[in-house]
Structure 1
Amino acid sequence: MTTHKPIKKAVFPVAGLGTRFLPATKAIPKELLPIVDRPLIQFAVDEAREAGIEQIIFVTGRGKTAIVEHFDVAFELEATMSERGKDMSVLDDTRATPGDIITVRQQIPMGLGHAIWCARAIVGDDPFAILLPDELMIEARGGGTGCMKQMVEAYNEVGGNLISVLEVPQEEVSSYGVIAPGASISDTLTEVTGLVEKPPAGQAPSNKIISGRYILQPEVMRVLDAQEKGAGGEIQLTDAMAKMIGNQPFHAVTFSGRRFDCGSKTGFVEATLALALEREDMGDEVRAIMRRLLAE
């Protein structure tokens, strides 16, 4: 059985300005906006940890230090909570093990590819994961494993490069990047022969859209070294990945769970409502509120 170098590092590009959520994001990173009571970035970090990721790499920008502080130990808060007999377990997932979190700066917003390239010295010669926190990936109703864990399991089988995909109605594909599929390895694992960004309706090679989770080999950094600009005058990760196809194994994992586009206001509201409705401590109350509001 072929063994592949394990995935222990994950890059989180969190340098964006969050302008679509202004004025809320004027002083607060969008990644710390809560889905009910859990910041968006916490979902992504928890997903990475579930998959066995040990080193968290935040690519940040000015005004984003609060993201790192969220995963620090808040001595004053914890001392006060302890004195008052409050439940401390609510903070368990927010404490990072010393040395597990590393930050690098993206001084100029030059695209996702550029953000990933900023982490090249930390990634080194290791394969690594990428998680876009705006894409909230939740396991299927009734349980299951997270998206990145599903991807790591597939990587352990085939190695190389992988991206997560979701199937959408054919009329929606023109809003996304989609894959050109090759051979099917299993029900959820497909060879990738090409990547197409926002193809016209009726001309898409598939209805499988790229959904914000990646496992890439370190050679992608050498492609990004060229700093070639693509759509929007930015350095695009999709362009760099496309150049890897044919040179290394490249597969897509169809995620069996749910995706919420929390980069949009409506997607953020949808995620908040969906997760609130599933909470035992508030689901019934939220459902009653929704019925009342819809009836008005």
Structure 2
Amino acid sequence: MIKKAIIPAAGFGTRGLPMTKVLPKEMLPIGGRPAIDYIVEEAVNAGIEQILMIVSRTKNLIVDYYDRSLELEAFLEQQNKEHLLDALKLPKVKIYYTRQLYPKGLGDAVSLAKEFVGNDPFAILLPDEIYLSNKENPLEELIDFYKNYEKNVIALQKVADKHLNSYGIVKVEKREKGRLYKIYDIVEKPQNNPPSNLAVTGRYILKPNIFSCLEKIKPGVGSEVQLTDAIKLMLQSEPAYGLEIASERFDIAKEAEYIKLVQKIYTLKHGEQGE
């Protein structure tokens, strides 16, 4: 049922400056692959067939990475290095691109996907949040919930109190069952009195009526169009649920978490010697 996904990748990546002045944060190397490749892999493994990447003028490296390099392929063949061609294989998914001309926020970026989405429910994956798990695919968990209930659903994780002002935080009255919560409110980066310690963590399954909500809201925190504000408005007429994701999550825009993820991936590839 969920075959389309949006990956918003147009931001400046200011937390990664000065490196991100020239290298998009989505292209930061992790285990010999760019970070965004782990996001695309998660989507493909969850059954996504079409991806729309929201990029900006400075993100051409992303577009180039998901294009064929005929010259390089020919060179490898001439040099009898055909075994390296496997590393150049593109993911089995249709990837489309559109540009966000001005950095107006995540909500504005998502609004650019209205025609791509049409009348279909769709996924959103934020490319600076990478989950590491050998078992559950976080996006697939959300899709399975949607298949059963046909309700909007958002990935959640518990966050330490000192970090709550950096996330969208949801209000819940009780745990529905297992790791599932019904969402009653959502606040973007609360500076005081956060409604819970459950943070929105970069994976969403939403119905297309979110676009009418995006059209109605005004710029919020940071003078940007916030997706959380549109979800808050949507809650007045459409229920949404939060699923607490058990997999370990890494925010690669934070240097310490990026380094930790790189170390873990390297250890997984090379074992104790790598560690």
- TM-score normalised by structure 1 residue count: 0.86
| Residue 109 of structure 2 corresponds to residue 118 of structure 1 | no
**Amino acid across the alignment from 2:156:** V
Which moves more between the two structures, 165-174 or 36-45?
165-174
Match of 2:61 in 1: 66
Which moves more between the two structures, 210-219 or 225-234?
225-234
- Shift of the 200–224 alpha-carbon distance from structure 1 to 2, 3 Å rule, reads closer
- Shift of the 227–26 alpha-carbon distance from structure 1 to 2, 3 Å rule, reads same
Provide the C-alpha distance between the structure 1 equivalents of 2:82 and 2:230, rounded to a whole number of angstroms.
Answer: 52
| Residue 157 of structure 2 corresponds to residue 160 of structure 1 | no
| Residue 220 of structure 2 corresponds to residue 220 of structure 1 | no
Match of 1:88 in 2: 85
**Amino acid across the alignment from 2:8:** P
Helix, strand or coil at the partner of 1:133: coil
**Amino acid across the alignment from 2:227:** L
Shift of 1:91: 2.8
Provide the C-alpha distance between the structure 1 equivalents of 2:188 and 2:60, rounded to a whole number of angstroms.
Answer: 32
Match of 1:269 in 2: 259
- TM-score normalised by structure 2 residue count: 0.92
Which moves more between the two structures, 42-51 or 220-229?
220-229
**Amino acid across the alignment from 1:153:** D
Match of 1:44 in 2: 39
Contact 1:72-1:95 at 8 Å conserved across structures: no
Output aligned runs, 1:240-279, within 5 Å. 240-279=230-269
Shift of 1:170: 4.2
Provide the C-alpha distance between the structure 2 equivalents of 1:14 and 1:168, rounded to a whole number of angstroms.
Answer: 24
Match of 1:29 in 2: 24
Shift of 1:165: 0.4
Which moves more between the two structures, 221-230 or 108-117?
221-230
Match of 1:210 in 2: 200
Contact 2:187-2:229 at 8 Å conserved across structures: no
Provide the C-alpha distance between the structure 2 equivalents of 1:29 and 1:168, rounded to a whole number of angstroms.
Answer: 26
Q: 2:164 aligns with which of 167, 173, 178?
A: 173
Shift of 1:227: 5.1
Helix, strand or coil at the partner of 2:269: coil
Provide the C-alpha distance between the structure 2 equivalents of 1:261 and 1:27, rounded to a whole number of angstroms.
Answer: 20
Provide the C-alpha distance between the structure 2 equivalents of 1:172 and 1:25, rounded to a whole number of angstroms.
Answer: 23
- Shift of the 109–46 alpha-carbon distance from structure 1 to 2, 3 Å rule, reads same
Match of 1:235 in 2: 225
Unaligned runs of 5+ in 2: none
Provide the C-alpha distance between the structure 2 equivalents of 1:30 and 1:86, rounded to a whole number of angstroms.
Answer: 29
Helix, strand or coil at the partner of 1:57: strand
Match of 1:293 in 2: none
CA RMSD of aligned residues (A): 1.9
Shift of 1:181: 1.4
Shift of 1:78: 2.3
Output aligned runs, 1:121-160, within 5 Å. 121-139=115-133, 143-160=134-151
Shift of 1:96: 4.8
- Shift of the 46–233 alpha-carbon distance from structure 1 to 2, 3 Å rule, reads same
Provide the C-alpha distance between the structure 2 equivalents of 1:25 and 1:262, rounded to a whole number of angstroms.
Answer: 12
Provide the C-alpha distance between the structure 2 equivalents of 1:250 and 1:95, rounded to a whole number of angstroms.
Answer: 31
Provide the C-alpha distance between the structure 2 equivalents of 1:109 and 1:15, rounded to a whole number of angstroms.
Answer: 7
Contact 1:61-1:107 at 8 Å conserved across structures: yes
Shift of 1:200: 5.3
The percentage of counterpart residues that share the same residue type is 36
**Amino acid across the alignment from 2:20:** T
Shift of 1:34: 0.8
- Shift of the 58–85 alpha-carbon distance from structure 1 to 2, 3 Å rule, reads closer
**Amino acid across the alignment from 1:284:** E
Provide the C-alpha distance between the structure 2 equivalents of 1:217 and 1:232, rounded to a whole number of angstroms.
Answer: 26
- Shift of the 17–174 alpha-carbon distance from structure 1 to 2, 3 Å rule, reads closer
